[in-house]
């Protein structure tokens, strides 16, 4: 279920972020979405955002600086209200629509972080950032560190499936790639994780959840 951002008749929506002055492209409509009048759908979208806010917050807490997660959720909500006419009516599709927006917002914030780090490094003449040291009680740190060593696209696919609870097909839709491509990347990622973690099998579900909950 890959979505083509070049589809006909799709407007590109931008939301300007106060910090850094960068902007974000909103997601293209999912198949089955339709243009509707905002007043008629206000209650539905309010309910959708209320239900999905906790999952969106966790999504950003696992990918951005912890303190920035709430601001990122607010940015997704702003996109949803401005693009209300393109949010699908089917709840599952509407949830995926929000996570497409969340992925775009996350990517923009990461780019901003990168620019800020580069600028800070130049101004301070720093050569290396201080290494991140995990707590000895953090039982999920090895899995998180292993995921971070994957190709960024493979790592995001693994996070969507094991941390955010999406199927491979749903994760492919959020990442806007072909499902067969997603399956291939997922199998490759699992194989690499086995090698990185030094085991015969990829992490069990309990270890995936430890890695997600201790982030």
Max distance between CA atoms of the chain, in angstroms, equals: 55
Confidence check: pLDDT of 75 > 50: yes
Q: Apex CA 79: angle with CA 73 and CA 82, to 5°?
A: 145
Q: Does the residue 126 lie in any domain?
A: no
Kindly state whether residues 22 and 110 are assigned to the same domain.
yes
Tell me the pLDDT tens digit for each residue of 92-102: 999 999 999 99
Confidence of residue 7 (pLDDT cuts 50, 70, 90): very low
Q: Which two structure tokens, joined as six digits, stand for 55?
A: 């999952």
Most confident range (mean pLDDT) of 18-27, 71-80, 116-125, 151-160 is: 71-80
Q: What CATH number should be reported for the domain holding residue 174?
A: 1.10.10.10
How many domains is the chain partitioned into structurally?
2
b/e sequence 117-154, b meaning 16+ C-beta within 10 Å: eeeeeeeeeeeeeeeeeeeeeeebbbbbebbeebeeeb
The pLDDT tens digits of the residues spanning 50-65 come to 999 999 999 999 988 8
Give the Cα separation of 97 and 80 in Å (integer): 9
CATH number reported for the structural domain that contains residue 37 in this entry: 1.10.1740
The pLDDT value given to residue 195 = 83
pTM: 0.55
Cα(207)–Cα(158) distance, rounded to whole angstroms?
A: 13
């Amino acid at each position: 279920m890959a979505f083509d951002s070049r589809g006909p008749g799709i407007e590109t929506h931008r939301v300007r972020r106060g910090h850094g002055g960068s902007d974000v492209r909103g997601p293209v409509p999912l198949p089955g979405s339709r243009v509707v009048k905002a007043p008629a759908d206000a209650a539905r979208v309010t309910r959708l955002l209320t239900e999905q806010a906790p999952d969106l917050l966790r999504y950003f807490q696992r990918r951005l600086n912890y303190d920035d997660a709430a601001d990122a959720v607010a940015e997704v909500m702003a996109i949803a209200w401005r693009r209300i006419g393109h949010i699908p009516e089917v709840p599952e599709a509407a949830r995926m629509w929000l996570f497409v927006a969340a992925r775009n917002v996350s990517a923009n914030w990461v780019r901003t972080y990168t620019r800020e780090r580069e600028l800070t490094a130049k101004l301070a003449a720093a050569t290396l950032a201080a290494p991140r040291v995990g707590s000895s009680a953090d039982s999920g740190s090895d899995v998180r560190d292993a995921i971070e060593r994957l190709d960024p696209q493979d790592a995001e696919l693994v996070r969507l499936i094991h941390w955010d609870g999406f199927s491979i097909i749903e994760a492919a839709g959020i990442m806007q790639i072909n499902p067969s491509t997603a399956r291939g990347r997922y199998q490759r990622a699992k194989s690499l994780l086995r090698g990185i973690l030094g085991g015969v099998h990829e992490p069990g579900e309990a270890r995936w959840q430890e890695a997600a909950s201790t982030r």
